[in-house]
Amino acid sequence: MVSESDVNRDESWMARAIDEARRAEGDTSPNPLVGCVITRGGELEATGYHRRPGDDHAEIDALDNLEGSPGGCELYVNLEPCSHYGRTPPCVEALIEAGVERVVVGCIDPHPRVDGDGVDALREAGIQVDVGVLEDEARRLNRPYIKYITRDVPWVSVKYAMSLDGNIATRTGDSAWISNEASRQRVHEMRDRCDAILVGTGTVRSDDPRLTARIEGGDDPLRVILDARLEGSLDETVYRPDGQGADTLVVTSEDAPSEARATLHDRGVETIDVPTDSRGFLAWQPLLEALADREIVRLFVEGGGTVVGTLLDDEHIDCVHAFVAPKLIGGEDAPGPVRGLGAETMDEAVEAQNVELESIEGDVLVTATFDHRSESSD
């Protein structure tokens, strides 16, 4: 019988492994976030985490940081150890060879080349394995990876800044700035943790954004621009060869003129075609699948109300980051953050399962997630 003190101890060490995994947030795509803790006799011996694709996995990193023999140790890892060759050898073989006594796993890895095989291999080798310690927390940490693996589309986060009366700009279109400087800095941190930023051509034309993560030592995500017909001037920053160094991908349709395509290609800007839907918008499902094919796991949407509204209508929003500024804009023609068809009744409104509030120097950041959309096929 497992005592309450044993459960508390396991949960404490698993929480530490999850904290280790978070150290690489934004750096591991398309791999998951994984941290590892090694203990002996209830005392911490070593920690490790996976830093980026091609680097050692968390278990190997922790073993390398261990002083002395791993024999008889207990190992805590938030995601099931891999049992197959990928960019690195399988961790299961290393754990068996090391002679660890017990492995505690947060959650099973849904990757079809793992999915319980790692746990089975450890048990067949005589190692005690316990699964499901802080399972909800472990799954929450890797929600983007889980959706990417199980549904072949990215995790979609939407960001917007709005006033207290729900407007994202004035009636003349002026939106600089609704949120404060600290909130805008937070957005750059969010960009640094995603794989791609997506906006519509309306945002590009009205704001001429750089769409880069201005974080020291950070990485700029891929810039994805929706422009079904390439009707603009293509003079904006994201289309220029010197466009701040980040790569740009323009998503268009077969109706886009060949001359505009050639102009973009000459500047080193790639284009891809996706079908349009019955409304004339680029269809989200094939678009998201195309991004997943490029190993885009975390997609950060900063588009206007039309882009966000069609995402909502098609049930593709996993997370919303709403920066609410203590300002009143007013005006019947001032735009809101979400358009589209929307719900006909309140019963059809989409309700978040998880909501967090954070004060940022007067602004309030509301983060809401929709788990039933991201993990419905697990």
State the Cα–Cα distance between residues 132 and 2, nearest whole angstrom. 14
Q: What are phi and psi of 199, to 5 degrees?
A: -140, 165
DSSP 282: B
Spatial strand order of the sheet with 248-252 comes to 270-273, 248-252, 222-226, 196-200, 298-301, 155-162, 319-324, 363-369, 354-360
Q: What is the largest CA-CA distance in the chain?
A: 72
The answer to whether 353 and 371 are in contact (CB under 8 A) is: yes
Burial 239-275 (b: 16+ CB within 10 A, else e): beeebeebebbbbbbeebeeebbeebeeeebebebbe
| 80 included as an active-site residue | no
State the Cα–Cα distance between residues 204 and 227, nearest whole angstrom. 10
Q: Which amino acid is at 337?
A: P
Short-list 144, 161, 142, 162, CA closest to 153 = 144
- Kindly name the residue from 59, 74, 80, 236 that is annotated as catalytic: 59
Return the ∠ at Cα 203 (arms to 201 and 209), rounded to 5°: 110
Question: Which positions are catalytic?
Answer: 59
